[in-house]
Structure 1
Amino acid sequence: MAIRIHIPTPMRQHTDGLAVVEVTGTTIKGALDALGQKFPAVVQRIFENGQVRRFVNIYLNDEDVRYLDNLGTAVKDGDEVSIIPAVAGG
């Protein structure tokens, strides 16, 4: 079993169209690093200067990781990670 990372529609062009990518890791950072090994371009859309971009939110099983242990939040097999970019409009 693996950790499932849900890819938002605007970023799927960098994951060969995949909506979900399965990875392994023990933390959110480790899971995102594993995603980056498979699809380097998508991680460039998530991180800037080693930090999650301000307009990108990361959720672990519907919990915002900023209120947990951020990128150090532990993950386990079967967990669901969602990448949610903020959307602006008018």
Structure 2
Amino acid sequence: MTLFDAGDVIGGQFDLARRIPGKEEFAETIRYYTRMPDKHGVDVRLRTRATVDDLTGFDEVVLATGVSPRRLSRQTTTGHRH
């Protein structure tokens, strides 16, 4: 099994979440997801966006695209939008 991840670490949104004050426990989730593939013989390729050529030869392909963070728009009491 091979896992391609465009990010620097496995975990996607967990990596962003762990940076929020009070959400440091997500660092443990990332640590877990980093250890398990190695423990189970998974070939992890970080900073790699899989191409058609990369996927040729696999019997099955599972595509999990994740999400992109979005900026929230909110109105303040002064009427300004942020």
Q: TM-score, normalised by structure 2?
A: 0.21
- Of the two structures, which has the highest relative contact order with CA contacts closer than 8 Å and spacing of 6 or more? 1
Find the structure with the greater CA-based Rg: 2
More strand by share: 1
Q: State the TM-score, normalizing by the size of structure 1.
A: 0.20
